[in-house]
């Protein structure tokens, strides 16, 4: 398996650009590409978390600079999200369990991405409200543990099915909240997975450069402009295909 081909770095670049434009960091997308190439589970998990951490940091900085962050919307999810991501990062599922579990997560991510792409704008006329403390606390913990255990980041499950569905923020506020959540959870999960760092490929620095450029462009677009619907649809198709590959082997 060739890990240093230019097109693989380009794929990571495009994923970071698309995800960052909607406040995501791209973990499920990186895993999708690595799944198609047959990467080992520990390599997929640690690599995705490392790439996710960098893009989430860039996205957080961009949204903060653009004045899109509302800390009241972030901290209820983060209180338990961080420690549970740390715990999840230390857990490594057996290969015969990891592939099906991540496959299901990728398929669910594809469904959520497609729903947000196909949903009509302006359906809700109610003003967004701040997330209630207890539901946000428990949601952050559950998503944090699952994302840390699988290396999927978690933001894709926080934004469409929770924050937007419950009307706890506008589209751009949700993107900003998700960026911070991804940053904290990825850092915690990667720290928790320190025992597996030797599975990170030596090509990681080049991939980090690719996602840094892609994430910067995507976050710049997302913090100021509406995301493109077709980009989400294409991404949903990639996630779905990769999830099916992992599920059925």
Distances in Å between the alpha carbon of 160 and those of 88, 188, 230? Answer: 22, 23, 17
For residue 217 the two structure tokens come to 């462009």
Residue 204, pLDDT score? 93
Write the pLDDT tens digit of every residue in 78-111.
888 889 999 999 988 888 888 888 888 888 878 8
Residue 24, pLDDT score? 79
Residue 122, pLDDT score? 47
Residue 222, pLDDT score? 64
Length of the chain: 249
DSSP designation for 93: -
For residue 94 the two structure tokens come to 């057996």
For residue 67 the two structure tokens come to 């004045």
The total of other beta-carbon atoms located within 10 Å of residue 91's CB is 13
In 3D space, the residue among 179, 133, 114, 177 whose CA is nearest the CA of residue 153 turns out to be 179
Residue ranges in the chain modelled with pLDDT below 50 = 1, 121-125
H or E element, residue 91: none
User: Is the C-alpha dihedral spanning 214, 219, 225, 229 positive or negative?
Assistant: positive
């Amino acid at each position: 398996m060739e890990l240093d081909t230019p097109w693989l770095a380009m794929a990571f670049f495009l994923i970071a650009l698309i995800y960052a434009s909607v406040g995501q960091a791209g973990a499920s997308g990186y895993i999708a590409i690595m799944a198609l190439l047959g990467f080992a589970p520990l390599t997929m998990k640690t690599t995705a978390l490392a790439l996710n951490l960098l893009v989430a940091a860039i996205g957080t900085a961009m949204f903060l600079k653009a004045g899109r962050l509302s800390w009241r919307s972030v901290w209820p999810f983060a209180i338990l999200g961080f420690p549970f991501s740390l715990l999840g990062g230390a857990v490594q599922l057996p290969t015969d369990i990891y592939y099906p579990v991540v496959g299901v997560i990728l398929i669910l991510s594809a469904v959520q991405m497609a729903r947000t792409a196909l949903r009509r704008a302006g359906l809700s006329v109610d003003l967004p409200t701040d997330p209630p403390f207890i539901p946000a606390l428990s949601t952050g913990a559950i998503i944090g543990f699952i994302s840390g255990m699988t290396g999927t980041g978690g933001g894709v499950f926080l934004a469409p099915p929770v924050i937007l569905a419950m009307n706890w923020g506008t589209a751009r506020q949700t993107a900003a909240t998700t960026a911070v959540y991804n940053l904290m959870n990825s850092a915690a999960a990667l720290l928790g997975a320190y025992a597996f760092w030797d599975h990170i490929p030596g090509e990681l620095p080049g991939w980090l450069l690719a996602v840094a450029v892609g994430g910067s462009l995507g976050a710049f677009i997302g913090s100021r402009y509406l995301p493109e619907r077709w980009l989400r649809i294409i991404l949903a198709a990639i996630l779905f295909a990769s999830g099916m590959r992992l599920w059925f082997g």
